[in-house]
A = this chain, B = another copy of it.
Amino acid sequence: MARLKMGMVGGGIDSFIGDVHRKAASIDGMIDMVCGAFSSSEEKSIASAKALDVPRAYGSFEDMIRAEAKLPKDERMDFVAIVTPNYMHFPPAKMALQHGFHVICDKPVTLTLEEAIALQKIVNSTGKVFALTHNYTGYPMVKQAKAMISKGDLGDIRKINIHYLQGWLSTAIEKTGQKQAAWRVDPKKSGIGGALGDIGTHAENLVEYITGLKINELAADVTAFGEDRILDDDGNILLRYTNGAKGTMTFSQIATGEENNLGIRIYGTKGSLVWHQENPNQLVVRWLDRPMQIYTPGGNDIYPEAAKYVRIPAGHPEGYLEGFATIYSNFAKEINQINTGKSQSTSPDFPTINDGVRGMKFIYAAVESSKQNASWIKI
């Protein structure tokens, strides 16, 4: 397969998530980074490009998109990776799509629900590929969980508990100049959701991805515990799913001492499963009539839907970057499919703009419910 060329918006050398995207893009050997608008300062952008050994640097995404569009087809970038704060997702995504570039974008998809819906229209009208990096869906054991439920192994799903707990905002580190914290607590850059948008949407996306169910309505009680914080840094939500299943979601960035504790328990009539992101290579499955089992990537009884994403033999742990890489690789394969004249997939195995819109609706519903003292709001 021909390697694709990536241009990046944001993600200067000091960026956490930019580096994650770069490493994830490189793991499967399908993608080379050829250019970037790494900073709104041209000087900084050039410095990042030099440090990263990237051929072309630009001082703005507009410059990059315009300049790349003028390059010969076999030289210019194939797609844009957007790794900026939320408020800076929509403008480059829109422009890139409209200039004929595919887009892969960090989550949540946009600053506002309106932007998300507008972007959905642009994606549909341009026919370009758009991927959203809800990376946790890339883990093999998450794929296995989805496959097991889809095939009915667990029976009808009745109860779901999901949690996403971090502690890094337990103290007011945004006041110490910590950049990651600073923009996340700022509604102008983050949107109306704080932790809700940053990690709640990951939880929402994960539960719908694994179960194939949709959240029908929710009752949310979100809170800003941190001093002077406007946006939520914690929340607890009751959930009702379209099939009658019920459950909870709890998320927090003030859960002191937690690192990145995303976990899910799903109960069906025949069996149940538990998965934890911090120990991602184990899928615990309990049965009505057999002892508990622990599935592992590369181990016995893994469905092809999961097995095809296992890169290395059993017992050799894959991690966060590999799961993230799977999003990039499936996105790259989709582009290649189009580039080689095949039609676009109707349901590709990566999160799309539709997941992005759904995530924004989730944020809006949860904020609205919380304003109404945890009344039920439909998504």
Residues of A at the B interface (CB closer than 8 Å) are: 1-3, 16, 19-20, 22-23, 26-29, 33, 51-53, 154-155, 158-159, 161, 163, 165-168, 170-171, 219, 221, 223, 225, 234, 236, 238-240, 246-248, 250, 252, 254-261, 265, 267-272, 277-281, 285-296, 298-301, 311-322, 373-374, 376
Contact = CB atoms under 8 A, between A and B. Distances in A.
Given A53-B1, A170-B269, A236-B248, A261 B315 contact: yes
Identical chains bound together, number: 4
A27 B16 contact: no
Contacts of A250: 159, 161, 247-248
Contacts of A27: 23, 26-27, 321
Given A159-B252, A319-B318, A259 B296 contact: yes
A254 B294 contact: no
A95 B255 CA distance: 48
Given A254-B158, A291-B296, A316-B320, A29 B3 contact: no
Contact of A317 (B269, B278, B294, B376): B278
Given A294-B291, A316-B319, A319-B317, A158 B234 contact: yes
A291 B288 contact: no
B292 A267 contact: no
Contacts of A239: 236
B256 A288 contact: yes
Contacts of A2: 53
Contact of A256 (B28, B234, B258, B270): B270
Contact of A299 (B33, B223, B225, B259): B259
Contacts of A247: 236, 250
A350 to B, nearest CB: 19
Contacts of A23: 27-29, 311
Contact of A255 (B159, B317, B318): B159
A74 B299 CA distance: 44
Given A236-B238, A236-B247, A259-B296, A317 B315 contact: no
Which 9 residue pairs spanning A and B have beta carbons closest together? A257-B286, A259-B315, A260-B315, A319-B319, A259-B314, A317-B319, A316-B320, A291-B293, A292-B294
A313 B260 contact: yes
A257 B287 CA distance: 5
A269 to B, nearest CB: 7
A280 B314 CA distance: 14
A291 B275 CA distance: 15
A3 B53 contact: yes
26 contacts: A19-B311, A23-B27, A23-B28, A26-B27, A158-B234, A167-B272, A219-B219, A221-B238, A236-B239, A238-B238, A254-B267, A255-B265, A256-B272, A256-B286, A257-B285, A257-B287, A257-B288, A258-B272, A260-B313, A290-B300, A291-B296, A293-B293, A312-B321, A317-B320, A319-B321, A374-B376
Given A250-B161, A293-B292, A272 B299 contact: no
Nearest to A268: B256
A291 B286 contact: no
Nearest to A267: B255
A322 to B, nearest CB: 6
A292 B257 contact: yes
Contacts of A294: 291-294
A257 B168 CA distance: 30
Contacts of A238: 219, 221, 236, 238, 374
Contacts of A29: 22-23, 26, 33, 52-53
